[in-house]
Amino acid sequence: MKLPTLREVGNETKLLLIGIPVFIWTMIPIYHMFLFAISPKQDAFAGKLWPDHPTLHNFKIVFYQQHYFLRDFWIQFWNSTVIALAAGALTLIVATAAAFAISRLRVPGGRWVMNLALLTYFIPAAFLAVPMYRTMGNYGLLNNHWSLILAMVTIASPYAIWVLKQASDKLPVELDEAATMDGATTLQLFRLVYVPLMMPSLVAIGTYAILLAWNEYLYAFLLLSKDTDITLPVALGNFLAADDSPWELLMTTGFIYALPPAAIYYAFRRYMVGGLTAGAVKS
Amino acid sequence: MAITLSASDIPNAPLSSRLSTPQVWGIVLLAPYILVFLAFVVYPVGYGLWLARHPASYVALYHDPIFARAAVNTLIFLVVGINIKMLIALFLSGFFAHQRTWIKWLSVLFILPWAVPSIPTILSVRFMLNPEWGMVNQIIFRLTAEDGPNWLNDPAVALAMAIGVHIWKSLPFWTLILLTGRLAISHDMYEAADVDGASWWQKFRYITWPSMKTLYVTCTLLSMIWTLGDFNSVYLLTGGGPADLTHVLSTLGIRYLRLDQLSLAMASIVCAMPLVLPLVYFMMKRLSR
């Protein structure tokens, strides 16, 4: 075995001197949240770095809805789930159809629609929130889950269409021509050739839209207000209404709320990193 | 093909015969998005502009010190926040390019802030900075026996903290993107540079930077647009306080909405457009090729 040279040791030290602060910086807020979730109230508020008596009691309070702020926890969890899945499914349908029409069928004006969608993508969603709130009021959709679902579809589909169009432009035209020669109708082409070939991108886009809707706070708290209608992030924000908020329960609920998207992200990381980020900033 | 052509040559032919079947299907398939676009983009934007039509709203905005403060805060957020973030991201992309098992594992953890929703983590930071009960000040007290600062009660510090939260959240994403750019650079060039005895800085200056310049600028511009719309970092950490002094343009609309001044809310968003539209135009040109 070869002993490392002084220079190699120096290099490794330099890497560690960067890596350790990066690790601490990344983990602190997440560790703090986890710490509160497993601490009894006194330990959490005493600023301990590890509780004297770690406990799962907070999780029990949340799961059994044993606190004023948590009395609708499960229904809010359900609301978040339904809205995220519905927004994901609708975005997929709308965006796949549009990308197929623009990229494969070369529908007249398709490029125009693509550019309009891109324009929407680049207008920050926070600026559209107030007009969207009034619009949903005019449509009579306020306090209705559809308002949030449709708002999320509106925000998610421009990027979805763009990514799907980029991906489908790469499929060879000969494929469509061969299928048409064999007598395939346009719908068969879509169902039997296009969708199966686009599967990886579709998974990525579906995941993207689901995470976007699950994580949304601003639109959710503008559009929904009844305790049994709101989603989990809005419920978390409502904890702050009280002066003596039960922060250990807030952090526990937040931890539970953060788990599904983190799990989804890591499960689909291959698609997310490859499919989305590379497309996001084509230089 | 020939049939389509000849049909479109007849000016008075009915629409259906001038279009081929795929094109009809194309319009049908494009329709859902066009409906969404009309109902939830065109209508709200038009309605918003209509609400913001009174010149009086802009006069009122001009006389509202909170608006001027929010505009300045937004500029600080953009200029300071984004440059720090992108420079760190550029630096860290070099770090993560090293081939080590532990760095690979670290990169998996490093993406966590981006993968988890921002609400619980921002609230977690908010409590850490609580002057009495927060972790930070308790540690300061234990180490120095003195009370730490009241972090979120000083507008400058509170804004800095909001910028910090923003960087914490979005740094992993940009590092990852810049990392893909870095990994695309051919390794041969670095080996050749090593043979010539190039220094670390020379390698960065003459190999890495020239091939990453465009990507870096695109990322910075895109990050500017997204940061302009970053509502959560400010709203959930400071709520715009203390005394409404940490608002940015993206939280200002909600503030006016709360005060029941809808036309001011819309006017403030219209005032942000001179900042947004040039960026949007530039990004459009980049991406719609």
* Angle of CA points B140, B144, B148, to nearest 5°: 40
Please tell me whether residues B130 and B157 are part of one structural domain: yes
Same domain, A160 and A251: yes
CB within 8 Å: B272 and A127:
yes
Mean pLDDT in residue range A207-224: 92
Shared-domain flag, residues B69 and B125: yes
Structure tokens at A170: 């790469």
Is residue A282 assigned to a domain?
no
Q: Give the CATH number, domain containing residue B165.
A: 1.10.3720.10
**pLDDT tens per residue across span A146-189:** 999 999 999 999 999 988 998 888 888 888 888 888 888 888 88
Residues of B in contact with A187 (CB under 8 A): 25
Band (pLDDT 50/70/90 cuts) for residue A272 is low
Q: Are residues A54 and A27 in the same domain?
A: yes
Per-residue pLDDT of chain B (289 residues; tens, 9 = 90+): 334 444 444 445 455 555 677 788 888 999 999 999 999 999 999 999 998 888 888 998 898 889 999 999 999 999 999 999 999 999 999 999 988 899 999 988 998 998 899 999 999 999 898 888 888 888 888 888 888 788 888 899 999 999 999 999 999 989 988 988 888 888 888 888 888 888 888 888 888 899 889 889 988 988 998 899 889 999 999 988 788 889 998 898 888 888 888 888 899 889 888 888 898 888 888 776 6
What is the rounded CA–CA span in Å between residue B194 and residue B174? 28
Q: Quick one: pLDDT at residue B10?
A: 45
Identify the pLDDT of residue B288. Answer: 65
Domain match, A184 and A145 both: yes
Closest CA to B217 of B283, B171, B285: B283
- Among A81-85, A239-243, A253-257, B274-278, which is the least confidently predicted range? A239-243
Domain count, chain B: 2
Long-range contacts of A174-177 (CB under 8 A, 24+ apart): A176/A104
From B92, B112, B225, residue closest to A30, measured CB to CB: B112
**AA letter at B37:** F
For tokens 């080590």, the residue is: B100
Is residue B237 domain-shared with residue B273, that is, in the same domain? yes
pLDDT bracket for residue A76 (50, 70, 90): very high
Residues ≥6 apart with Cβ < 8 Å to B136: B128, B129, B148, B151
Establish if A168 belongs to a structural domain: yes
Q: Computed from CA positions of residues B226, B228, B234, B235, in that sequence, does the dihedral angle turn out positive or negative?
A: negative
Answer yes or no: is pLDDT of A281 > 80: no
Q: Does A58 share its domain with A148?
A: no
The predicted structure's pLDDT at residue B189: 86
Distance CA B92, CA A17 (A): 12
The pLDDT-based confidence of A252 (bands split at 50, 70, 90) is very high
> Any idea which residue has 């940490």 for tokens?
B246
Per the prediction, chain A carries an average pLDDT of: 87
Separation of alpha carbons B131 and B133, rounded Å = 6
Interface size between A and B, measured as CB pairs under 8 A: 271
Q: Are residues A112 and A171 in the same domain?
A: yes
Question: Domain for residue A281, yes or no?
Answer: no
State whether B123 and B185 are in the same domain: yes
Asked whether residue B135 is assigned to any structural domain, the reply reads: yes
Shortest distance, CA A122 to any CA of chain B (angstroms)? 6
Instruction: Give mean pLDDT, residues A247-270.
Output: 90
Whether the CB of B127 is below 8 Å from some CB of chain A: the reply is: yes
Count how many domains chain A has.
Answer: 2
Cis amide leading into A158 (omega within 30): no
**Residue A78, SS3 per DSSP:** helix
The residue of A105, A119, A157 whose CB has the most chain B CBs within 10 angstroms, and thus the best one to mutate to test that interface, is A105
Q: What tens digit of pLDDT does each residue of A14-50 get?
A: 899 999 999 999 999 999 999 989 988 887 777 778 8
Say whether both B109 and B186 belong to one domain.
Answer: yes
User: Tell me, what's the pLDDT at B2?
Assistant: 39
Residues of chain A neighbouring B218 (CB-CB closer than 8 A): 281, 283
pLDDT of residue B260: 85
Q: B8 in a domain, yes or no?
A: no
Sign of the torsion formed by the C-alpha atoms of A129, A266, B163 and A277 = negative
- Percent of chain A exceeding pLDDT 90 equals 43
CATH number at residue A137: 1.10.3720.10
Domain that residue B40 falls in: 21-51
Q: Which two tokens stand for residue B254?
A: 């909600």
Tell me the per-residue pLDDT of A188-212, one tens digit each, with 9 for 90 and over: 888 888 898 888 889 889 998 999 9
Tokens representing residue A29 in the block: 């807020």
Domain of A56, in residue numbers: 6-63
Contact B106, A23 (CB under 8 A): yes
Same domain, B29 and B103: no
pTM of the model: 0.88
| CA–CA dist A129, B92 (Å, integer) | 34
